[in-house]
A and B are shown apart, each in its own frame.
Chain A
């Protein structure tokens, strides 16, 4: 990511961002992109508005209105606060403001919500959606599959520096994790045999009165419902479990713990 932003010199290979080479045209590129760095800090005692003002003064073209930006990010009442007094979420929002101040075409967000509580995380997600809706391209890295699933049009899964696969979240799930699971509860003891006869069902596990049915494809849930209604099986619980991006990630990169 830092190579793409022009902060680190790549060992080899070529990078092109907006048609520019991040290494040779770094200043031209910085005019057109906004950057939020992982684990960045500012001077402890810099005030919020001073940082915004400094960043705005560095734009060649006209910066967008810093006060409005702070208002949109919910930082207006903190404009005179020192950086060191801000909470984690407020710091991240300030960094988003700094990344947006030059009205960039492309915004890089590096592990934006790492270490934030759920409320702050959701507030930041709304902000990222806001940036998207204004027609900017957002390029973000995250360890949270839920975050990628909710925010991204396209997701690349990277392992050891290589892209393993890249597509929309839904296509990734369909391609790599087509299995579906239905969990239901019924007292009908003949049910197990009927479930096994459903096409594309692979496994039926029964314990007490609970059944877990695993199979392939989108139609599995419909088929199960169909089977239930045809045989008039009375159920007291019914859940369908769909795989998500996290399952895809684990499947593609393995389950072992890594650094």
Chain B
């Protein structure tokens, strides 16, 4: 019964999202489009690629794209939750036999599905322009991405639990999320950061997500990244437990 409710609500939320002006195009279309256009421009001049460039394209880019899309999904989750709270929609949904966790899970599932759809489209569209190795462990990478996204989403939920109004949701989310990217090793390897920032990097969940994603993409064994997975799990559990405590329905 509850599963039926979850499925119905998830499906309705997907439809509502696609009805938003720019909803589908803005979230799925634009990243794919940018990806393809850049591919066309850069792709040709890349033929005998320099080593640095090609290693960025083959390893850095997919991870960068994944993380950025996951983060934008989280930011939109934060915004939607706070809009729903402000409008009394969360309260209205809660005054039904729907369990609170069902309502929130539905939103997370919607975001996961949209992230997956965007990335799948990118992979399909990118195949022509980017010399991604055939040896990429797609299944493993997907798993790593799901783990990372869940962990990042739980941080998003914590933010959604505490932002006062919908107006602040997006900026506060961005202020917390984007600096994490800077120290996460996405642009600059963590080891070449100043010691102070390295310390920061070690407590930022995104660092472990990036390390896991890059490792798995390059073909590392999961065993080599147990620490990353454990760190992400801890973040997930901590954030979920905390937001369950402080979440406000209205």
Contacts and interface: CB of A to CB of B under 8 A. Distances in A.
Contacts of B97: 27, 30-31, 58-60
Interface in B1-53: 1, 4-5, 8-9, 12-13, 15-16, 19-20
Contacts of B196: none
A46 interface: yes
Contacts of B13: 43
A39 interface: yes
A197 B4 CA distance: 76
Interface string B67-106: 0000000000000000010011101101111110000000
Interface residues of B, number: 23
**B interface: dominant SS:** helix
B12 A50 contact: yes
A45 B88 contact: no
**A interface: dominant SS:** loop
Nearest to A27: B97
A250 interface: no
Interface in A20-60: 27, 30-31, 35, 37, 39-46, 50, 53-55, 57-60
Nearest to B7: A57
A55 B78 CA distance: 25
Interface residues of A, number: 24
Nearest to B89: A41
B4 to A, nearest CB: 5
Nearest to A43: B16
A42 B19 CA distance: 15
A60 B1 contact: yes
Contacts of A53: 8
A7 interface: yes
Contacts of B99: 27
A103 interface: no
A50 B8 CA distance: 9
Nearest to B99: A27
A7 B91 CA distance: 8
Given A54-B8, A54-B9, A54-B12, A41 B98 contact: no
Given A40-B92, A54-B12, 7 more contacts: A27-B97, A30-B97, A39-B88, A45-B20, A57-B4, A57-B5, A58-B98
29 contacts: A5-B95, A7-B91, A30-B97, A37-B92, A40-B89, A40-B92, A41-B87, A41-B88, A41-B89, A43-B12, A43-B13, A43-B16, A43-B84, A43-B89, A44-B16, A45-B19, A45-B20, A46-B12, A46-B16, A50-B12, A53-B8, A54-B12, A57-B8, A58-B5, A58-B97, A58-B98, A59-B97, A60-B1, A82-B19
